[in-house]
């Protein structure tokens, strides 16, 4: 069993999630139950799956949760790009978030590989 609070991927994904909440706070009100909610939920899923997976008794189970976290990261990236296309996020913020997300994804993939 791993201590998720000590994992750098969990710390970085938690910070990323906070940034997503901050940036989506200025999305149009009519998107509150649309892309705002979807983006926030997918972002929360990343550190949540890392934490949940860390409680599993086998590395194989943990690796599966890390795979789900990576899938959520790709979902978030798609939603960020759509939000950018719609003009909800400026180019600078989009690049910053996607760079953070790419780093988290790469780190999670490398960590996952050590578990298998």
Share of the chain above pLDDT 70, in %: 99
Spell out the CATH class of 4-115.
mainly alpha
Q: In terms of Cα–Cα distance, which of 54, 55, 36, 71 is closest to 111? A: 54
Domain ranges across the chain: 4-115
Q: How confident is the model at residue 116 (pLDDT cuts 50, 70, 90)?
A: confident
Tell me the pLDDT of the chain averaged across its residues: 96
Structure tokens at 71: 């899938």
- pLDDT of 17 reads 97
| pTM greater than the 0.85 cutoff | yes
Q: How far apart are CA 10 and CA 12, in angstroms?
A: 6
């Amino acid at each position: 069993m791993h201590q998720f609070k000590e994992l750098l991927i969990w710390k970085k994904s938690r910070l990323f999630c906070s940034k997503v909440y901050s940036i989506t706070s200025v999305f149009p009100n009519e998107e509150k139950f649309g892309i705002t909610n979807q983006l926030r939920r997918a972002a929360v899923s990343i550190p949540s799956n890392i934490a949940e997976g860390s409680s599993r008794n086998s590395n194989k189970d943990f690796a599966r949760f890390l795979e789900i976290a990576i899938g959520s990261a790709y979902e978030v990236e798609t939603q960020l790009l759509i939000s950018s296309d719609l003009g909800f996020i400026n180019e600078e913020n989009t690049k910053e978030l996607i760079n953070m997300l790419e780093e988290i994804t790469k780190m999670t993939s490398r960590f996952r590989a050590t578990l298998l």
